[in-house]
Amino acid sequence: MVSKTKNKKSTKFSKAVKKAAGSYQKDKDMLIQILLDLQSMFGWLSREVLTEVSEQLEVPITQVYQIASYYKAFSLMPRGRHIIKVCLGTACQVRGSPQLLNIISAMLNMKPHETSEDMRFTLETVNCLGCCAMGPVVEVDKTYHTKPSPSDLRKIFESAK
């Protein structure tokens, strides 16, 4: 029974990797883009996905893992449906981002770099979101929110189903 479940997952991952790699003619030089596409599909890169990429592209698993673990764009852990990023760059810090992070952590009952048990949210911190003059800034699902109040945050999180 276990092997059947594993085979079904492997088939699912195999098809997804085949599709993503096929989009780039299985070009090993497109490894990063293939991994980005797979992360978009699954929300993160599991060991099974990385192994399948290694096998289909004929690239050592160590090389695939090295790329996936090096770039912050990749996640090797399951992530929530909604990604919250709090900027902790210098400009945002002096404008109150540490307090903002504390408020968000308390509201969601989670610490930075954690995912909620219901897989709804993942809370991350970043060094800079590139809009220093508008800080502090929080990005939720690729939408920037500048100087959000606690009530703004509640509305944002409530609307994220």
Residue 11 has pLDDT above 90, yes or no: no
Q: Confidence band (pLDDT; 50, 70, 90) for 73?
A: confident
pLDDT at 74 exceeding the cut of 50: yes
- 3 or 157, which is more confident: 157
pLDDT exceeds cutoff 90 at 70: yes
CATH number of 82-159: 3.40.30.10
Percentage of residues of the chain with pLDDT beyond 90 = 85
- CA-nearest of 75, 17, 25 to 48 is 17
pLDDT tens-digit map of 104-117: 999 999 999 999 99
Tell me the C-alpha distance between 142 and 131, whole Å.
Answer: 13
pLDDT class for 9, splitting at 50, 70, 90? Answer: low
Please name the residue ranges forming H helices in the chain. Answer: 2-22, 31-42, 47-57, 61-70, 90-94, 97-108, 150-159
State the average pLDDT for the chain: 91
The mean pLDDT of 140-158, rounded to a whole number, is 95
The DSSP letter of residue 96 is T
Confidence of residue 10 (pLDDT cuts 50, 70, 90): low
Domain residue spans in the chain? 2-70, 82-159
Higher pLDDT, 44 or 73: 44
User: What's this model's pTM, rounded to 2 decimal places?
Assistant: 0.76
Is residue 88 scored above 50 in pLDDT? yes
